[in-house]
Every structure is written in structure tokens, then in C-alpha cells.
Amino acid sequence: MIWVTDSPWSVTFNTYHQLATWLENTDLFTADELADVMYNNANRVYFKAADVAAAQAAEDPVAARFKKSH
């Protein structure tokens, strides 16, 4: 789950566990909606197959220079 809030002060009195699990303990979402919030939306946006393949094929020039010098 990617946690974003417009109330950053909430992390000053809630633990990460409380923030990450409170939705599971409410009836705000159906099981499918909760799966979207907790996983599917981020997976759809950030892990598109073409983007993952491009990242895997990319070469980090800093890492390449480091390997050559060590």
C-alpha cells in the first residue's frame, strides 16, 4: 500500500501498523475495493509490464563505472 495523506500530523500519534491496517477493520470498502486500495491500483500504475521490462534492461551508468573501478 502506498500511504499518502493530506494530514501528515496523523503519523505523530498513530503507528505504521495502525495506519496500514485500519481500513481492514472498517466497512468502508468491499473486499474488491479494499484489494484495489491496498494493492491493485499501485500495481496497475507503477508496475506496467513494458515499464518493468525497460527498467530491467536499463543500465545504471554509476553502477557500471563502479563495477569497472572495483
Q: What is the pLDDT of residues 9-63, one digit of tens each?
A: 766 788 878 877 888 898 999 999 999 988 898 888 888 999 989 989 999 889 8
Whether the Cβ atoms of residue 70 and residue 63 lie closer than 8 Å to each other: no
**Domain count for the chain:** 1
Whether the Cβ atoms of residue 3 and residue 20 lie closer than 8 Å to each other: yes
Name the pTM for this structure.
0.54
Answer whether residue 31 is part of any domain.
yes
Answer whether residue 22 is part of any domain.
no
Answer whether residue 53 is part of any domain.
yes
Full domain range(s) for residue 60:
27-70
